[in-house]
Amino acid sequence: MAVRKVAVMGSGTWGTAACCLVSPHVDEVCLWARRESVASGINQDHRNPVHLPDLVLPRNVCATSSLSDALRDASDVVLAVPSAFVRTTMAGAAPHISAEVPLLVLTKGMESGTGMLMVDLVADVIGNPRRLAALSGPNHAEEVAQGKVSAAVIASLDPGIAEHFQQLFVSEAFRAYASSDLVGVEVCGAAKNVIAIAAGIAAGLGAGDNTLAALMTRGLAEMGRLSAARGGDPLTCMGLAGMGDLVVTCTSRHSRNRSFGEAFAAGESLADYESRTGMVVEGAQAALSLWEMAHAMGIEAPITDAVHDLLYEGAELADAIGSLLTRTPHVEFYGMGQPERPDND
């Protein structure tokens, strides 16, 4: 039997944790790290020296800083780099990935300027979109690495590809479900990070449980409108990629988007936060991309608008909050297949 090798691209927390999920099902997992020091540390100590350093990686996990070495003879590819680096990373990887190799995208987000979701972006670079899939859900890498029970949804245009990656990832502690709504899963994955920044800001300003619950629920409705506008199924927003991921990202101490929101409310800038933590705040990029999409398509996305204006327009916190609280409440689920709000509202 041929040796089955999986290449995991990206040595952040999620890519590192993904190696542990995949390793029991294959002969070899090769983790691509941008920095040679990270790859060397993994090979020497079986630990990632930067992310999840307490996690001992399985013996069949190795690392390299060479894309060609990581991808050579790989039967499957798992992509886990930050959204801002997906296009350049895949451009470098494209010559080393054959047209039929299945690829699973763990990155959540939307490309600014093009409005492309991550699977669309990958397909734009390497072609053959039917061999691509996206995994999303309430999965903090820290807890996945500890073997705590988690669940995710894997979506693909090809049901066979979704099932293929289900088998690669599923275990007693990691429940993987399949979906055909690739657009809905990806929109939810991008939008929930924006709502989590808003939740962190609200918490940082002393908001109570009622406020946070209202913000999350209206955020869920906003996610539904954005998804429906792109052709996704609004019901997806009620599942693992939507409500599940939204709850954990808005409430968990592991959430960089929530914690950034709290830090922002205390006066720390995005650049300072990312420099201090060494982590990319995906919701900041998503706020720009989703804001562009919403305005181009005429979709009401007031929470996204507020976060965008705070991060990119220098809006004052009081003004952003006022823009939300002075809106007239309408039909709860307008824009998601429900009756539209009256014209005179």
Rounded Cα distance between 34 and 22, Å, is 20
Residue whose entry in the numeric block shows the structure tokens 């999303």: 136
Rounded Cα distance between 267 and 277, Å, is 16
Length of the chain: 345
> Which among 140, 321, 288 is positioned nearest to 214, based on CA atoms?
321
User: 248-267 in b/e burial notation, b at 16+ Cβ within 10 A?
Assistant: bbbbbeebbbbbbbbbbbee
Rounded Cα distance between 261 and 273, Å, is 10
Active site (annotated) includes residue 148: no
175, burial (CB in 10 Å: exposed 0-12, middle 13-18, buried 19+):
middle
> Which among 151, 84, 149, 147 is positioned nearest to 121, based on CA atoms?
84
| Contact of 150 with 138, CB cutoff 8 Å | yes
Rounded Cα distance between 155 and 174, Å, is 16
Q: Which amino acid would we find at residue 109?
A: G
Question: What is the greatest pairwise CA distance in the chain?
Answer: 68
Rounded Cα distance between 188 and 241, Å, is 6
The helix/strand/coil state of 28 is: strand
154 strand-pairing partners: 135, 178
**What angle, 0 to 180 degrees and rounded to 10, lies between the N-to-C axes of helices 302-312 and 182-204?**
60
The active-site residue out of 5, 108, 148, 192 is 192
- β pairing state of 61-64 and 28-32: parallel
| Contact of 307 with 283, CB cutoff 8 Å | yes
User: Which residues are designated catalytic?
Assistant: 192
